[in-house]
Structure 1
Amino acid sequence: MQVSYSQRDLPPGQRELSEFPRFGIVEFARRPLTCRDIRLKITGPFDQPLILTATELAALPRISLTADFHCAAGWSHRAVKWGGFRFSDIWEQLILPHARPRSEIELVVLRCQDGYRTALPWSDLLAQEVLLADRLNDLPLTVEHGAPIRIVAPSHYGYKSAKHLDRIELRDNGAEYVPLLPRLLDHPRARVALEERGQWLPGSLLRYAFRPFIKPIIRKLKSLANSAS
């Protein structure tokens, strides 16, 4: 199934990049991946954790999603083509039948092989455009863009689209979750349309604070990739 989620106009404060760069916290890009194959551990308010691999995911409908990618630092890349599986399908067809939760889910914590983590409200992850993606532009994901599998949440800034996804924690409340990033840089939802780049300061101000770091981070991550090849 093919789905398009691209918008005609860029959101407030975004500037278009012709390339789709590797971007993120440089510290995490230095860390080697522990597993090149898809292996997702699902934990939550149920009796036993569940392990999902490419074999289980292959039973689901495959979705091709074309969507704009927006970074909270202020850059966007238009019409990125992702391939993968809807998170809502994974929940309904693979998780729920085998691990019925004892309570309502409120928060989902996304943990990654490189140590990165982020979180989103449960209702946001169930949106129809949210994928667990294993392909980019009809090719398998590279390490630079999140191999072996990653979250793609087009309505949210890129730091919520966790790369190298390793573990999904379903929580019945978010009281004990501690964000990885300082709260100034980590909004609980990070919705692009509302310019939720972080907390405490308006997104319209944070965009100017973040913008000077775009080119240096891109250059540094390119340098790391070149030295590793």
Structure 2
Amino acid sequence: MRTDQSPLPPGQRARVNFPRFADQPLRRPPRACPLALRVSAAGCEDLVLGEEEFAALPMRDQDSDFHCVTTWSYRGVQWGGVRMREFWHEVVLPWVGEEKPVPWVRARGGDAGSAVLCVEDLLADDVLLAVRLDGRPLDARHGAPLRLVCPSQYGYKSVKHLVGLELLQELPVLPSKEHLRARVALEERHPRLPARLVRRPYRALIPITVRLAEWSLARSELVEEGDAVP
């Protein structure tokens, strides 16, 4: 983590480490598997990219602060991966057809997590399909083998263990706590409640959520180690 003295966004507090964190912390990460990203859209045959196809795309590194909706921030994370904007124009549009507008995308994780994003937000310059964290391949804690990284939005939009991108013509019903935009600079923490009302209860949940999320990760690692024993 680099040192950065720039002001944090409204309501955020810096954290000295980058823990595993999740809305459902007892949900274990999926078993380790090769990278496979499925892109789907109505009327199109699914497009599936594996490790070889993904490795052939241009990679970049970028430093980005990570902001959790529960008010903690971890500064200067170095992500490495494919810029979503380039992936969209070089892979997705030739497949789906540029004449067919796509207003929304649902990102799906292998751990059953998901988020809906406006294409305008998804194609921001700093959005990545990340495969590396601080120069090393992503691990189970932070979303291996592939993670969506949306630095300008709260962390729940940065879907871990990314396995699917579903292109949508109609806006689906969102989960009760998911804001469609979730923009950090505007403190869009909750779809209905003002930020000032949710900061304190969200902040109170941080310690127990971290403990439970790390515990479930440790349990999953023990299970995989046990399965590997001949």
TM-score in terms of structure 2 length: 0.89
State the match for 1:169 in structure 2.
166
Match of residue 208, structure 1, among 200, 219, 230: 200
Q: Does 1:221 align with 2:213?
A: yes
Contact 1:131–1:152 (CA<8 Å) still a contact in 2?
Answer: yes
Residue 95 of structure 1 and its aligned partner are, at CA, apart by: 2.0
Contact 2:41–2:168 (CA<8 Å) still a contact in 1?
Answer: yes
The within-5 A match list for 1:109-188 is 109-174=106-171, 177-179=172-174, 181-182=175-176, 185-188=177-180
Paired AA for residue 56 in structure 2: A
Residue 26 of structure 1 and its aligned partner are, at CA, apart by: 3.3
Per-residue deviation, residues 31-59 of structure 1 (Å, max 9, x unmatched): 533x6111111011453211112212222
Contact 1:64–1:84 (CA<8 Å) still a contact in 2?
Answer: yes
Per mean C-alpha deviation after superposition, the further-off stretch among 219-228 and 85-94 is 219-228
* Moved beyond 4 Å, runs of 4+: none
Per-residue deviation, residues 74-97 of structure 1 (Å, max 9, x unmatched): 100000000000111111112222
State the match for 2:11 in structure 1.
13
State the match for 1:91 in structure 2.
88
Within 2, Cα distance between the matches of 1:155 and 1:31? 24
Residue 27 of structure 1 and its aligned partner are, at CA, apart by: 5.2
Contact 2:40–2:167 (CA<8 Å) still a contact in 1?
Answer: yes
**What fraction of aligned residue pairs are identical, expressed as a percent?**
40
Per mean C-alpha deviation after superposition, the further-off stretch among 218-227 and 71-80 is 218-227
Per-residue deviation, residues 135-164 of structure 1 (Å, max 9, x unmatched): 000000001100010100000000000000
State the match for 1:67 in structure 2.
64
Within 2, Cα distance between the matches of 1:189 and 1:143? 26
Q: Specify the SS of the correspondent of 1:154.
A: coil
Contact 2:105–2:119 (CA<8 Å) still a contact in 1?
Answer: yes
Q: Specify the SS of the correspondent of 2:196.
A: helix
Alignment RMSD, CA only?
1.9
Per mean C-alpha deviation after superposition, the further-off stretch among 73-82 and 21-30 is 21-30
Contact 2:25–2:216 (CA<8 Å) still a contact in 1?
Answer: no
The within-5 A match list for 1:188-199 is 188-199=180-191
Contact 2:83–2:126 (CA<8 Å) still a contact in 1?
Answer: yes
Contact 1:121–1:189 (CA<8 Å) still a contact in 2?
Answer: yes
Contact 1:67–1:78 (CA<8 Å) still a contact in 2?
Answer: yes
Within 2, Cα distance between the matches of 1:199 and 1:47? 32
Contact 1:111–1:165 (CA<8 Å) still a contact in 2?
Answer: yes
Q: Specify the SS of the correspondent of 1:98.
A: helix
Within 1, Cα distance between the matches of 2:193 and 2:155? 19
Residue segments in structure 1 that go unaligned for 5+ positions in a row: none
Within 2, Cα distance between the matches of 1:144 and 1:178? 28
TM-score in terms of structure 1 length: 0.89
Q: How many residues align?
A: 219
Match of residue 24, structure 1, among 5, 16, 22: 22
